[in-house]
Structure 1
Amino acid sequence: MSNTDTLPDWENLVKKQLKTEDIDAILKKDNLEGIDVSPFYSSVQKPLSNLPKVEENTHLVAKYHESLEGDVFAFLLDQNVESLEQKTIFINNKDLAEHISPEETDQYFSLIDVFDEKKGIINDQLTKELLAKSFKKNICVDISLHQNAGAAIYQQLGIALAKAKELVEAYGEEILNKIIFRIAVGGNYFFEMAKLRAFKLIFNQLSKEYGLDEVPYIFAETSLRNKAVADNENNLIRSTLELASAMIGGADAVFSNNYLIGKSTENSEEISFKQQIVLAYESIINVFEDASNGSYYIEDITRQITEKSWTFFIEIEEAGGYLELLKQGVIQKKIYNHAIEEQKWVEEGKIKLIGVNLYPKQDIKRSIEDLYDEKEIKAVRWAEMFE
């Protein structure tokens, strides 16, 4: 398209080449999120200013190993390790958290979800114990489970807000500054960037309802949903793209789950972490505040995800709140309905997983009914149908 061409000129050329008057009918692709995606963009409805993150540079988080102490600045801990000075530590174990008393100069974060999803309650004793700790962020709101269970993007974000609202009602609005959000990033590259951006907008809006102006702290990790047991190399490619989405979308910390499903090794853990190193040091995408700002496409889907997520959050609140709907089984059923639609797309080949349902296409061994339970939020990988 030259400088002298107009948009109608370009559209007419495309119509001629495609031999149609309806470009959208040919070029548009369906999605399960209910997001309207145009085949091309020439403007955006409401341009956004840069969406900030809490950390200046995205933390690259590794599972702790002694050999990494000299080079890695952020660790995920499942067990106690002495003398980790000047490190950023993400605690992933309740028993460990109880025995840690950080110094003021230490950077400790809790990744322990205080919600009991099965009982539909907040663990009050655990919450109070964590709030008493001198952590940078004491309380984790975990929606990684919901993504891995098949929740839609707008469901994940609406649930994250609803869980935060439950915490405010129980412990006061000051808790909003103590929350870290644990979010799983899936394989829909641009949608996942928009997901993190949209969450910043709706969380900030929630905080304004209480007279605050908070930015959410986002710990993003790679999804398990699109990974396969016998597809290691493709798992690695998928998780690399997910990490890129998280960094570009503005996560404060990123972590790569092991790309070997069910058979983690020391070597695979090292490779999983080094995915982050390559992205950060070769592409330098972990230092930007809002790298995708200005993309008409991402701006537009950010807006749509924001609106759908806020609407879903309001629906939850008007129906009694997250915990009440958990007890009634409503949340579980909503996630289940979306998850089985996704799984049908995998079964039909609309969602393509190379090496699973494409090149080679494997026989279906388990039905949707075998994989999912409408009464339980549980992680299910798409590939389990074929394994």
Structure 2
Amino acid sequence: MSNNDTFSDWENLVKKQLKTEDIYPILSQSNLEGITIKPFYNKVSQPLNNLPKVEDSTHLVANFHESLEDDVFAFLLNENVESLTDKVFFINNKKLAEHILVEDHCNYYSLIDVFEESSATINDQLVKELLAKNFDRNITIDISLHQNSGASIHQQLGIALAKTKELVEAYGESILNKLIFKVAIGGNYFFEMAKVRALKLVFNQLSKEYGLDQVPYIFAETSLRNKSIVDSENNLIRSTLELASAMIGGADAVYSNNYQISKPSDLAEEISFKQQIVLAYESIINVFDDASNGSFYIEDITKQIAEKSWQYFIEIEEAGGYLQSLESGKIQLQIYQQATAEQCWIEEGKIKLIGVNMYPKLEVKKSISELYNQNEIKPVRWAEMFE
């Protein structure tokens, strides 16, 4: 039986089940990302090659604690720890980065963003200080801020490329293999897998513009945007799915923010990290380069996201680049428009947030105008409207 025959058989079966000849209006799904989703797939045009990652195995990152020294390989550091060896360290503190002296490559990575969004500038002194460090990766391009502020997926990736180009123009193309992309993974399970994969495609394309063939280093953390103060248990479920999206999509490192938003505790922090352990050692998804490769649905939306992200990057460049677009307020306004449209869907229940806008449905306490500012890239959780 041919693919076309198989597809027709599926269509006929669905028509029979739904008792209608016109199944597509019933099965169509709308989304704020502008991505076309088919009800079902039987093929994909031009399948993608396996998309590699930098690390052989996804690093499972925990906040440093002495009790974890024997069991954890990768730590997020906010203070100096001199006694540890054979570990991977992600430095999250400017003052700490200044005092760390690394003679050889010792698995040190900087998670410090050198862009100052409020003033639309790059901290030149900080860039030079970080590049002088003998770290494996020195400069972070942080688009977790944009995800938590309500930017669409293609806006996040387009901004990542635009920020990359600003750095290349200022410091040369050699900076490309010194970058870390810090991304926040939201709750749209398959779309977020595709986001990680699309970032690999568009960054690789940008590197080819400079005669290189680079793979991005991706540090993925759980989003705060869909988390709620009043429903920690559902926060835990959401963050587990987000970590799975990141690993399946092929992130190089993953980190789980504390699922208890209002009253974080040591126990909650431990549980947050152990989500990663369960996923890695029970599901064994942290060792694959591109676990979702071959899924028609994910392949299709990956290519759509990559194309939209590249087009948005071009639009930013035509407007003068990321910093100029920030200075003019264009980027802030575009994110504001996307974020408020998304918040309307939360208020109307089109995006379902269990324990907040359904089961139970809480009372709206803050308006959209109180939550958002069109002149500022400002992290906002959906649930703040009800808290």
2:261 corresponds to:
261
Structure 2: segments with no counterpart, 5+ residues: none
1:152 corresponds to:
152
Which deviates further from its counterpart, 234-243 or 261-270? 261-270
Partner Cα distance (1:177, 1:6) in 2: 46
Which deviates further from its counterpart, 122-131 or 257-266? 257-266
Whether 1:331 aligns to 2:331 is yes
Give the secondary-structure state (helix, strand or coil) at the position aligned to 1:184. strand
Deviation at 1:20, TM superposition (A): 1.9
**What letter matches 2:317 in structure 1?**
E
**What letter matches 2:319 in structure 1?**
A
Calculate the aligned-residue CA RMSD, in Å: 1.4
Structure 1: segments with no counterpart, 5+ residues: none
Partner Cα distance (1:59, 1:230) in 2: 31
Give the secondary-structure state (helix, strand or coil) at the position aligned to 2:84. coil
Whether 1:367 aligns to 2:347 is no
1:209 corresponds to:
209
2:356 corresponds to:
356
Whether 1:38 aligns to 2:38 is yes
Q: Could you report, residue by residue, the CA deviation over 1:88-119 in whole angstroms, capped at 9, with x for unpaired residues?
A: 00000000000001231410000000000000
1:319 corresponds to:
319
Work out whether residues 194 and 299 of structure 2, in 8 Å CA contact, stay in contact via their aligned partners in 1: yes
Deviation at 1:29, TM superposition (A): 1.0
**TM-score, with normalisation over the residues of structure 1?**
0.98
1:65 corresponds to:
65
Partner Cα distance (1:15, 1:228) in 2: 40
Work out whether residues 3 and 42 of structure 2, in 8 Å CA contact, stay in contact via their aligned partners in 1: no
Aligned residue runs from structure 1 range 1-387, under 5 A: 6-387=6-387
Deviation at 1:4, TM superposition (A): 12
Work out the percentage of aligned pairs sharing the same amino acid: 74
Partner Cα distance (2:124, 2:218) in 1: 23
**What letter matches 2:77 in structure 1?**
L
Q: Could you report, residue by residue, the CA deviation over 1:115-163 in whole angstroms, capped at 9, with x for unpaired residues?
A: 0000000000000000000000000000000000000000000000000
**What letter matches 2:33 in structure 1?**
E
Deviation at 1:17, TM superposition (A): 2.1
**TM-score, with normalisation over the residues of structure 2?**
0.98
Partner Cα distance (1:316, 1:384) in 2: 31
Partner Cα distance (2:197, 2:3) in 1: 32
Partner Cα distance (2:283, 2:9) in 1: 36
Partner Cα distance (1:29, 1:380) in 2: 25
Give the secondary-structure state (helix, strand or coil) at the position aligned to 1:146. helix
How has the CA–CA distance of structure 1 residues 272 and 12 changed in structure 2, closer, same or farther, with 3 Å as cutoff?
Answer: same
Q: Could you report, residue by residue, the CA deviation over 1:166-194 in whole angstroms, capped at 9, with x for unpaired residues?
A: 00000001101100000000000000000
Structure 1 stretches of 4+ with a deviation exceeding 4 A read: 1-5
Give the secondary-structure state (helix, strand or coil) at the position aligned to 1:35. coil
Q: Could you report, residue by residue, the CA deviation over 1:313-348 in whole angstroms, capped at 9, with x for unpaired residues?
A: 000001100000000110000000000000000000
Partner Cα distance (2:163, 2:366) in 1: 33
**What letter matches 1:43 in structure 2?**
K
Partner Cα distance (1:187, 1:363) in 2: 23
Give the secondary-structure state (helix, strand or coil) at the position aligned to 1:43. coil
Partner Cα distance (1:33, 1:86) in 2: 42
**What letter matches 1:212 in structure 2?**
L
Partner Cα distance (1:70, 1:16) in 2: 58
How has the CA–CA distance of structure 1 residues 72 and 11 changed in structure 2, closer, same or farther, with 3 Å as cutoff?
Answer: same
Work out whether residues 105 and 134 of structure 2, in 8 Å CA contact, stay in contact via their aligned partners in 1: no
**What letter matches 2:149 in structure 1?**
A
Work out whether residues 105 and 136 of structure 2, in 8 Å CA contact, stay in contact via their aligned partners in 1: no
Partner Cα distance (2:131, 2:2) in 1: 59
Work out whether residues 53 and 251 of structure 2, in 8 Å CA contact, stay in contact via their aligned partners in 1: yes
